[in-house]
Amino acid sequence: MSDKTDATTTVGGVSGERLKSYIERIERLEEEKNGIADDITDIYTESKGFGFEPKIIRQIVRLRKMEADARAEADALLETYRAAVGV
């Protein structure tokens, strides 16, 4: 590091401070994400305690998601057609 350069200054064309900020924001969000994933796992575990097979629940969730996605895709297709035709 050269004189009169602190950690927040551009070094070799790379703004260390900004990079650090991005990384920390990402790490924070990743933590949140993992926390939620854990919550989901907990629900599966809890439901298992009431006799629901996680496998079945997952299948249901997946099916519902597929259906929702298919619906969204159908809407998008319609939109494409409308754009192609001009309203």
User: Looking at this protein, which amino acid is placed at residue 76?
Assistant: A
Binding mask 55-84 for DNA (x = CB under 7 A): x--xx--x----------------------
For the chain, how are helix, strand and coil distributed in percent, rounded to 5? 75, 5, 20
Q: Max Cα separation, the chain? A: 67
Nearer of residues 5 and 18 to DNA, judged by Cβ: 18
9, 10, 21, 45: residue in contact with DNA (rule CB under 7 A): 45
Binding mask 31-50 for its own copies (x = CB under 8 A): -xx--xx-xx--xx-xx--x
**Nearest approach, Cβ of residue 80 and DNA (Å):** 10
Q: Residue 17's closest CA among 28, 6, 33?
A: 6
